[in-house]
Structure 1
Amino acid sequence: MATEPTTLGEGDVRAAADLVAGLPPTAAVWCTGLRKRYGRHQAVDGVSFQVGRGEVLGLLGPNGAGKTTVIKMLLGLVRPDAGEVMLLGRPAGDPRARVRVGYLPELFRYQPWLTATEVLALHVRLAGLRVPVAEQRECLALVGLAAHAAERAGDRVGGFSKGMQQRLGLAVALVARPEFVVLDEPTSALDPLGRVDVRDLVLALKARGVAVLLNSHLIGEVERVCDRVVILDRGRVAAAGSLAELLGQREVRLELTAVPPAAQDRLAAAGVVDAAGDWVTVALPADDDGTAVPDLVADLVALGVRVHAVEPGRISLEERLLGILRTGAEEPR
């Protein structure tokens, strides 16, 4: 049984410092050179990345890319053939690190004869922690199951819908006050309202300084909540970075008519990257705080330009992901 986390001893600190030399102190998870082979299949091949405290990292890639294997190696559930992992300042296999991790696996099953309240109580005991009953109820409320637990306390998990079981899985992942949370397809069985709830939950964890690793096929959800993204393909890191780095320069497309010379000068100063017919594409500054487009449109209107349409010109994360994967498929391995 796992024990409560204790203060790092001098030897622990020294070992961690030797292993993660140069690692920012905010990192909750750090891994380098992870490799894992199953028979002839190289599932993971040299994967390296880190997750900072209070950061949401999206893990993307097609089926079979190695995402779940990477997650299991991070959590100490699978031993890597090569590479190193530090989890909350300790080796991944250390129970004192894992007790501070919340994990929602993609496929999970709870004892069908237990109630939601009993499932939470069981996992608190398995974690070796003391979490007051009132706090456990708050966790059920956080995932939208409090009313169900109160009104139908005798209902067994075996009678839950897929969406309710998914919400219970989220509660289990959060009940032990984790510092690092891994969510593997957390919205797979949820309706649109449930997906919004998960999005709000992830942002709330981030605000509390909790590190989150989110694996999801719903690209739009990743784009809304993630600070950085790691894209895996055939066991390797195909691309990694912030959304701004991956999606490239932000642009805006404007449909304009009656453009006098003074307005043409204003557009040129803003940075025209393309012009075709009545459409003009302008690059937005990297440090734009949301005022660049309104200011540009206001200036153009004041100069007598007729503005018919304004559209974002940046590609979506889904388009970027598909482009990376298609390029990788064409390259010899």
Structure 2
Amino acid sequence: MTSLRLVFAGSPAAAVPSLSALAAGRHEVAAVVTREDSPQGRRGILTPTPVASLADELGIPTIKANRLAGDATEAITALRPDLGVIVAYGGLVREPLLSAPKYGWINLHFSLLPRWRGAAPVQRSIIAGDDLTGATVFQLVPELDAGDVFGQFTQSIGGHETAGHLLDSLAVSGAELLAAVVDAIAEGDARAEPQVGDVTLAPKLTLADGLVDFTRPAHDVVNLVRGVTPEPGAFTTLDGARLKIIDAAIARDAPRLAPGHFAQEGKLILVGTATDPVQLVTVHPAGRKAMNAGDWWRGRPADAATVVDAPAVAE
């Protein structure tokens, strides 16, 4: 069996299963490329990426760089890799690095390309209300996520699945697909086909993307909450304070409420939308810990606001 000399580029936890699978296989992972240590937590302690931590455990040399240029490009090229493998690294591979490995670079992307090209495919698919997602291994080309496809699998999106849960699942299954594609490339059996279908884009989410618009239908509100959990997080503002929404559900049998209006119905804490109310299940008030929505509601002053602040909801 032919063995390849690999360079692996990845950063977050979603890339860890892929590195683990490749390191356990027959190929040599000559180096890992990952983003630089970054401040984490309230104390701002410099912390390596999850991929860097695993590489250290495995004894694989690590190149830490936030951009694949200059010294990083020279260091990777000097390794003379047969194949570059990238999974959620967090940066672009450009020429001359793109053509440096014998077989170029392949990318594991967590969507059914060409749907959801970009940095946030899992989040965008849930926000859009997709029922189906998956992962794709494709040849990296200069155009964003546009290369020919070596392999792809589909997976249903659960009605209560958050982006975090779905990404964890796709990361494991995607690692198996990626390892199989690398083996096929090594044996000369890999065949890549052009992407087919309509292109949609999945740009990176910002904090502002987590603002809930209660003038939307209930299913859109719940999909947004699921899609931005755990990052960047869903929120609204009530009486000038930010309220993070960790978990929510459609309350189909509850009385209708005006969009953005809060009410208690039995044990349920509800917020009105354009259709059915949404039940708040778990919330995270500013300056406090995440908690059951009922506990939060009972702890508020009797004269506290019950309508989200404008422009969080249209008047």
TM-score w.r.t. length of structure 2: 0.26
Question: Which is richer in helix?
Answer: 1
Larger C-alpha radius of gyration, 1 or 2?
1
- Larger relative CO (CA 8 A, sep 6+): 1 or 2? 1
TM-score w.r.t. length of structure 1: 0.25
